[in-house]
């Protein structure tokens, strides 16, 4: 059975947020050594994966985090500026 803290964390992970809020949460919680995100990389990811965004400008940790990590890792040598 889930406790209150687990339910709260699940709600945070599933709640749609703006790019700025997602960026802060992603970079704050990503382990050392994993690629960091920037507004430019998030916008390029969004352009590359439009089907992941039902609501155009909304992000969620649950839906986008893993895919973003994989995408950033596979595009590590790309200049997103």
pTM of the model: 0.79
The helix/strand/coil state of 31 is coil
- Residue 51 per-residue DSSP state: G
**pLDDT higher than threshold 70 for residue 1:** no
Q: What is the pLDDT of residue 8?
A: 72
Distance CA 75, CA 67 (A): 12
pLDDT digits (tens, 9 = 90+) for 6-34: 777 777 778 899 999 999 999 998 999 88
């Amino acid at each position: 059975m889930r406790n209150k803290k687990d339910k709260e964390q699940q709600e945070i992970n599933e709640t749609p947020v703006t790019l700025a809020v997602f960026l802060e949460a992603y970079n704050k919680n990503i382990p050392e050594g994993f690629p960091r995100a920037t507004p430019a990389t998030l916008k390029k990811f969004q352009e590359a994966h439009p089907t992941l965004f039902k609501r155009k400008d909304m992000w969620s940790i649950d839906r986008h985090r893993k895919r973003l990590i994989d995408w950033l890792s596979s595009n590590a040598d790309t200049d997103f500026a």
